[in-house]
Structure 1
Amino acid sequence: MPTGTTALGNEPRELPSVAQQFVSSSRGAQLARHFAVRRMEEWGYLPASDTSCTVALVVGEFAANAVQHGRVPGRDFGLRLALDPAAGLVRIEIMDAASEKRPPMAPPPSYPEGESGRGLLLVDALAVRWGAEPRRPVGKTVWAEVTLGVPTQG
């Protein structure tokens, strides 16, 4: 997980980032997506921009998976967004409390006939890279890095 700073020459600088907890429910997943779109707009990417739409799609997929597969009763899930204009990326992280349930890194056996399992294929197509890592003492972080387009507003 990135530390939130980067070094240009000898001067470290803080990267713009935001984190928020959400109730592990379908409503919480929806609110996480809306939160991400609002934050991207504050960072200069209009809701209808390619960058904002891509971030919304990735957040929506990861949040829905956290609710469906990573839910632990009584535990929320977290969202963290970190903007790195110098690298041209936004990092999306969803943290949940289920350590043992990791996302598959390959299409499910029922693909393409199955009724689910395509969301991570979309993430794979839209993200520069993505993955999952364990969190200590419990849980996991599923993350993706998405290319930033040109900001659409000041």
Structure 2
Amino acid sequence: MPEPFAPEREFTMRFTSTPRGARLARRLVSHRLHDWGHPYTTPVNETLTLITAELSANAVRHGHVPGRDFHLQLNLTEGTFRIEVTDTRAEKRPPATPPATDSLSESGRGLLLVAALADDWGVSPRRAAPGKTVWAELHVRTQGHPLTHRVAPGPTDLDLLLATASLLRDDRGSRPEDASRGGRRP
């Protein structure tokens, strides 16, 4: 079996299985990507932050076991970002294909977003313990922009993506550059 390539960049951390833990995971991934040369408003940062938000929220909502944290790992290896979110609940695995949701439903679109934004995603058993890892990959060019091999989403999917992205934007004053203005945005 060939040896896997060592990641060029890696970020890993455990978070509490709470909405606050999911929000912190999203923010730290965004900050880490910024530090790695993918500023906050770039497509790579925004895409991976949204994927992180969805996978972390699912770990909290569907993979929560009282007293257990979820684990997040972000790697960059040979132009591919891989985000992994691991929880301790093995019996609640997401479906291989995200199910269609009712247009009036207020939830159930997280994996549809992940499937639309990521180049690949899946679920694997957790290594050395009960649970599962939900992962997603995003291939990037050397300039830091996602490759465009995906099929463009239809108008209704795009509306859904924009609406969801606007809900996930950080609160005022949450980004480091906002701190100098006292949390006020222009």
Distance in 1, Cα, partners of 2:80 & 2:99: 28
Deviation at 1:15, TM superposition (A): 2.5
1:62 corresponds to which residue? Answer: 55
- The gaps in structure 1 that reach 5 residues or longer are 7-12
TM-score, normalising length: structure 1: 0.84
2:96 is matched with which residue: 95, 102, 105? 105
Deviation at 1:110, TM superposition (A): 4.1
Deviation at 1:109, TM superposition (A): 5.5
Structure (1/2) with the larger strand percentage: 1
Residue identity opposite 1:74 in structure 2: G
Higher relative contact order (CA 8 A, sep 6+): 1
Is 1:33 paired with 2:20? no
Distance in 1, Cα, partners of 2:118 & 2:100: 22
Of 44-53 and 13-22, deviating more is 13-22
| Larger gyration radius, structure 1 or structure 2 | 2
1:9 corresponds to which residue? Answer: none
Aligned residue runs from structure 1 range 1-154, under 5 A = 6=5, 14-84=7-77, 86=78, 88-108=79-99, 110-135=101-126, 136-149=128-141, 150-151=143-144
RMSD: 1.8
TM-score, normalising length: structure 2: 0.70
Distance in 2, Cα, partners of 1:120 & 1:100: 17
Residue by residue, what CA displacement relative to the aligned partner does 1:81-137 show, whole Å, maximum 9, x if unpaired?
0012x3x21000001000111112334364334221111111101101000111132
Structure (1/2) with the larger helix percentage: 2
